[in-house]
Structure 1
Amino acid sequence: MHVRSVIIGGIVASLVIGMWEMVVEAVLPDGAGFFGPVVAIGATVIRDLQGSGNPIPFDGEAFVLGLAGHMMNSIVLAAIFGLAASRFLHEGTKLVAGGVLYGIVVWAVMWFVVLPLVDPLILNLNGLVFLIGHMMWGGALGFLWSRVAPAHARARIAHPGLRTAD
């Protein structure tokens, strides 16, 4: 796997979904507030925030933990995408479409399984906005993977026995 592609793709895709969530949650009438999505991620660790209503109150420690946790999770999920999806998807449009589909799967697993158990405060976010954000995240991940990962690296992942000149 091409480590640079995973790191760049994961971080940039996390910024795409992060900006989307923050802006939309700030303008929705019953939204979580501008910092709400990031603080809600940090509430995984800062448990006193669980049970807060909207707008989610700002907490500096939770904000920093939320930023770090979000980018870390995005990089880990980008690595999984790099290992799994790129074995089957070698062209830009297929990588983007595969990324969008991957984003939907990540959203469903997080929204319906992980978050209710680990961090129910995130369920204060608008579910449709969260879904669209994950689709944007996956699309950005697929697009960036198609642009940043060298073609020979994508080919090597798809066909491990293939010899290519680096």
Structure 2
Amino acid sequence: MEFTRYMFVDGYNVINQWKVLKSIKDENLDYARDKLVDLLQEYSVVKNTYIIVVFDAHLKKGNIESVQMVGNIEVVYTKEGETADCFIERSVAQYSKKGQVYVVTSDYIEQRIVLQMGGARITPSELWWEIESLKKDVQKKSNVSYKDKTITLADVLEDEILEKLERMRRKR
């Protein structure tokens, strides 16, 4: 698939800005990271946007840069001594030659740098609103009403209970 839109997401910055993820991260940071990537999956497909989520690992001694694909999302852990901001700045310069580049961060200085490099900035709250809006649009377009939908246990359980069940499942 050929992309013309690229989005860099400052992973920990977004986790700390989205209430749903911030409440999870103190108890289970891995789950908060996974949940962020999951939330971006559908957005990526609907918006035909290649998404790179960048997590700081610069404080981990001896850490080397690691890149993995999770579904259709590229997940990057920076190397020792490199912040997510540095990685994103370096990458924006490369990707801006391929198409429109967006950076999701609430860091004002990072936003200014990205704008100067020809990228566009999106705040975490703007992205959250856009994802929620897309979910509603997809649901409307599919014309699925609740009476036609099979209701699962996940539809009726509270998020907190679902998270606990997920943690139990992962421990096995």
- TM-score tier by shorter-chain length is under 0.3
Higher relative contact order (CA 8 A, sep 6+): 1
